[in-house]
Structure 1
Amino acid sequence: MASEPETLSPIGYSDAGALQIINLIFQSLLSADLGTNEIKPFLASEMPTVTREDSATLFTYTIREEARWSNGTPVTAMDVAFTLKVAKAPLLNNESLKPQLEFIRDIKIDSENPKRFTFVCAGYAPEMELLTGDFFILPAYLFDPENLLQHIRVAALSRDPSELENDKKLKAFAAKFNTPAYGRDSNLLQGSGGYTLEHWENGRYLTLKRKKDWWGKTSNTQHLTANPQRISFQVIPDITTALLALNNRQLDLLENIPAAEFEQLKQSKQFLKDYSLHAPDAFEFVYAGINTRSSRFLDKRTRQALAYLLDTRNLIKVSHQSYATPTVGVIPPSIRKFYNDSLQSYSYHPDKAKKLLSESGWTWENNGWYKITNGRKERLAIVVSYRAGNTNFENAAVIFQQNAAKAGIPVQVQAMEGSLLSQQSKEHQFDVFFRSLSGNPFAFNFKPLLHTSYAEKGGLNYTGFGTPESDSILDRISTTVTSEAELATLLKRLQAIMHDEAAFIPLYYVKERVAIHRRFTNTKVSGLKPNYDVSAFTLTAE
């Protein structure tokens, strides 16, 4: 891993590395089988039954009879209800999950079967079936032993949860749940998955240990696996050091291998005797974020000017060779039915950039661009931030710096430790940053990232992007879309607005580059994160 997770909280995690580890400890009702790239029931015994009633849709699930928590007690619908409360309640660190579950208004538990329940959902959208099952279920006995949330109804949280902000029991629960322990303590990180967190050495490694008698091994379900007895995630921020460890046979697996080094490994017969190389099309994209709250970037023409200096194609050539695809939107170009191919990407064009700056009110004088804002004269100078140790982001920042210099814009490049970059992004303390995001081909709810209701400090809409029209589109996608054709129309329009606003600027989708030791089989390599299923790994016969 290039960096260790900020937290392993199943509710508050924010990076792909954390997600991979949480996937081994906790389970969701539904998930993707990386061997087939299909959505399958995991904690649920089967896919939900769906009943549409006027303005509501009912999704009925049954939890696997054999499903157990670490203490041997059964996983029940009460645990699902508890998880919904944690995901929806005010005062809790649940900003990333809450918007994904807004459409779930209530849960009805079967009076005769404690493992059977029904989600009552507002409206209908084709992707609701996945979204109702795509969140980790928490053990109520472990996370809330004092039953502090027992008196709260899920339906109440779907109305105006602010009424509960003074609830003494909720405040007491929040005071505990929001502490770092709920994302780091191995005694609390106990789910229904096949592994437990054995050890976490800060900045060095995380080790997971297989449960002795995990219920999934007796379920006769091929995609429920926990084969390796122990899994160690080594934290190696420097890719050169990581590649050296790989070449010295000290790692069984390395992902995110730089393109040039990946090509070199493909030419090494000695290396290929021990390792197989894989380059699946990933659902991860790199984007540039511009802080629209800054007086320098309020006018979208200024942001558009900067977009013409990003030079995506050169960046792909330098950083990825043939292992990336330019994109004009958050939708992968490979999903043609939803991708807006009528848009023209922001290719490198300094003359257009200068023209847009002039139209935005900037004037060229004394070897710089200046504008009077609120009675104060300011110069267009930019600080570009990115996560330290990521050469792709570093290349993007340097190329932008060089191109901006040609247009008379001074740019300072600033590498930052990952958690600090996240903190400053949430606090809106940045000019421009480069980040990446992972998605999947099953769900397209971008509300947490792009809706203005999540643009306050602490929200995930770091750039402040949003218009009344884009907000309306995001609301409709998350609640009322009834057909794939309608979804396609809305997504294409959203991409057009994003392209015009130039605040959240998608640059390219990557191909993953993974090396896996040949002593393993059943690796299930996929374009979906985490691009392989380490729980399924088995040793090849000698």
Structure 2
Amino acid sequence: MHYIRKILPVLLLILLVLTACSGEGQEETASEGNTGEEEEKVLRLSASGEIPGLNPTMADNDMSFNVINQIFEGLYRLDEDGEPQLAMAASEPEVSDDNRVYTFKIREDATWSDGSPVTADDFEYAWKKAVDPDTGAAYGPQFEEIVAGASEILKGDKPVDELGVEALDEQTLKVTLEEPVPYFKDLLTTAVFFPQPEAFIKEQGDKYATDSEHTLYNGPFVLKDWNGTGNTWTYAKNDQYWDKEAVNVDKIEVNVVKDTQTAVDLYENDQLDRVNLTGDFVDQYASDDEYHTFLTGGVKFLKMNQGKNGEQTDLANLHIRKALNKALDREVIVNEILNNGSNVLYGTVPQGLSENPETGEDFREENGELIHYDVDEAKEHWKQGLQELGKDELEFELTTSDSSSSKTIAENLKYQWESRLPGLTITIKNVPPEQSVDANVNQKYELILTGWGGDYQDPMTYLNLFITDSPGNHTGYSDEEYDKLVLDSKSNLADKPMERWNALLKAEQLLIEESAVLVPLYQTGTAYLQKDDVSNLITYQVSADNYKWVDVEE
């Protein structure tokens, strides 16, 4: 049992994290180790990769969102049970009779980490920047069909100033929606709706959010010791945070540890307080009192690049995509490789996310298995696809991150495909997470192992990604019927629960069953070890983790 967290000897830390941390990161950690702050409450965590970026407006990946959620805050923050609670908003908003106009008051004690006030203007600036086509924000479409004017602005048909957000004064923010939105408060807990300090950003120029020193924070923590590319960083309690009394730890030290064995060694030597386990460690620790599992809302899938800029690829062929889908035995991946509580997935919306508004049936259960494992059918699709392409064989490059679990899954995918689809060759390209993110968002891949974590409790957070020209699409997929189903569900069907539900079911059927845009693999389960003296480290089925209330017993 650990009570007061003590700074451990420099030599031991360097030896244990040598394979995971850069020399620079070790020096920083060693320097902190000699501060003599033995009474500090310190939590020690690992990360699977480096931070791709800190800018809430430009973030487009789970790694960044997880960091951003600790150091920034919007009008609402999710509470311990995953429900939106007031954050930068001082009180619940005034809402018009038609549920389209919201008027928020910003709390008077909301400040940035330099002591300057968080104002309504910071929200107006951030939201308008997010929908500006010149910004190219990946999450700009979160405003589409939601905030008035966003759809036309994103298309370049209206000026940015016509977005339905206005700072009436420093503490009053008026938001006008296109239609009533049942999950609007949940949306406001996500990064792209967070405020941004305009004067500071303009002063920093291109350096803004490139490292911990060129960023202002308004969340429970500030980021320390991050140089923009390093393998270590620290969350330090934000003394300017309006609710700082609720923040229990003084700091959270994070090291990038990509190898599970190294992470487990660090945990066993009290250098980490929590560690995620890959399948080969589950049996070893399953009976341990510190072993836990959790089924997240994260979904893992493969994207297939159908083409870009008018140039089609071989993966634009529907039969080839269906062959790749049907040739995979996902049970092997889930039960033999992961072995961590993950579930096989035959759609893109996970289990446990939302329920039929009339019957209460789970979305995943109602829509069923939209793709299935059948080698004979896979071979037929493969044969027909090759004939249509006029080829006898195909070769694809599979891009994946360089974490140990991703590498193992990629090798298994290669084996299954090559052994079942004659003439197929798969070349695996393992890259650091930030390079994998870049390949995804810039569509510089053929096949890519990626996924999605969801931002709020609604199927829209998964299906909205694949509308035409969405910055989250990155596949070349475009279908007018799909677009209409999804966009109608964000607008004119918002107050028609069953029509909206059926439209979302149909949209997923089009995406997976009919068009085979993705190769769904599994809904992510997490098996992990966590020290008994750590409490209130909040993880949600959807949305980024929340460290605000985490505590370490004394």
Q: Same fold (TM over 0.5)?
A: yes
* Corresponding residue of 1:64: 107
**1:478 pairs with 2:490:** yes
Q: Which moved more, 1:68-77 or 1:439-448?
A: 439-448
In structure 2, C-alpha distance between the alignment counterparts of 1:530 and 1:251, rounded to whole Å = 20
Q: 2:210 maps to what in 1?
A: 184
**Amino acid in structure 1 at the alignment position of 2:418:** A
Match 2:446 to one of 431, 452, 455 = 431
One-letter code aligned to 1:27: E
Shift of 1:263: 3.3
Q: Residue 401 of structure 2 contacts residue 431 of structure 2 at CA under 8 Å; is this kept in 1?
A: yes
- Residue among 261, 278, 284 paired with 2:298: 284
Q: Residues 136-535 of structure 1 correspond to what in structure 2 (within 5 A)?
A: 136-145=194-203, 179=206, 181-200=207-226, 202-217=229-244, 225-255=246-276, 257-268=277-288, 272=289, 276-293=290-307, 294-321=312-339, 323-334=341-352, 335-337=354-356, 338-339=363-364, 341-360=366-385, 362-363=386-387, 371-372=389-390, 379-392=393-406, 394-408=408-422, 409-443=424-458, 444-446=460-462, 449-454=465-470, 459-480=471-492, 481-499=494-512, 500-531=514-545, 533-535=546-548
| Separation in structure 1 between the aligned mates of residue 529 and residue 305 of structure 2, nearest angstrom | 37
Q: What's the CA shift for 1:442?
A: 2.1
Question: What SS is found at the alignment partner of 1:40?
Answer: strand
Determine the structure 2 residue equivalent to 1:12: 58
SS at match of 1:460: coil
- Percent identity, aligned pairs only, is 19
Would the aligned equivalents of 1:259 and 1:323 in 2 still touch at CA under 8 Å?
no
* Aligned CA distance change for structure 1 residues 439 and 236 (closer, same or farther; 3 Å): same
* Alpha-carbon offset, residue 396 of structure 1: 4.5
Unaligned runs of 5+ in 2: 1-46, 149-163, 357-362
| Structure 1 position 85 matched with structure 2 position 128 | yes
Name the TM-score, length of structure 1 as normaliser.
0.81
Q: Would the aligned equivalents of 2:327 and 2:420 in 1 still touch at CA under 8 Å?
A: no
Which letter maps to 2:450?
R
Equivalent residue runs for 1:25-64 within 5 Å: 25-33=71-79, 35-53=80-98, 57-64=100-107
The whole-number CA distance in structure 2 between the counterparts of 1:513 and 1:356 is 36
1:311/1:399 contact within 8 Å kept: no
Kindly indicate whether the alpha-carbon contact (under 8 Å) linking 2:293 and 2:340 is maintained by their aligned counterparts in 1: no
Inter-CA distance 52–493: structure 2 relative to 1 (3 Å threshold)? farther
Instruction: Please state if 1:97 is matched with 2:142.
Output: no
Cα distance change on mapping 1:485 and 1:50 into 2, 3 Å? farther
- Displacement of 1:510: 1.6
Counterpart-to-counterpart distance in 1, 2:397 and 2:464: 25
Is this contact kept in 1: 2:106–2:171, CA < 8 A? yes
Q: CA RMSD in A?
A: 2.5
Residue 79 to residue 100, structure 1, CA distance change in 2 (3 Å): same
Distance 1:133 1:519 in 2: 29
Contact 2:110-2:241 within 8 A present in 1 as well: no
Distance in 2, Cα, partners of 1:427 & 1:89: 19
The one of 106, 126, 129 equivalent to 2:182 is 126
| SS, match of residue 194 in structure 2 | coil
Q: TM (normalized to structure 2)?
A: 0.79
Distance 1:472 1:124 in 2: 18
| Cα deviation, residue 333, structure 1 | 2.1
Structure 1 stretch displaced more, 307-316 or 11-20: 11-20
- 1:250 and 1:242 mapped to 2: Cα distance? 9
The one-character-per-residue Cα deviations of 1:455-493 (angstroms, maximum 9, x if unpaired) are: xxxx32111223111111222233332233233112101
CA shift in 2, pair 1:108/1:288, >3 Å: same
Provide Cα deviations, 1:42-81, integer angstroms capped at 9, x if missing partner.
111233343254xx81122121222112232322211111
Closer, same or farther: CA 434–133 of 1 in aligned 2, 3 Å? closer
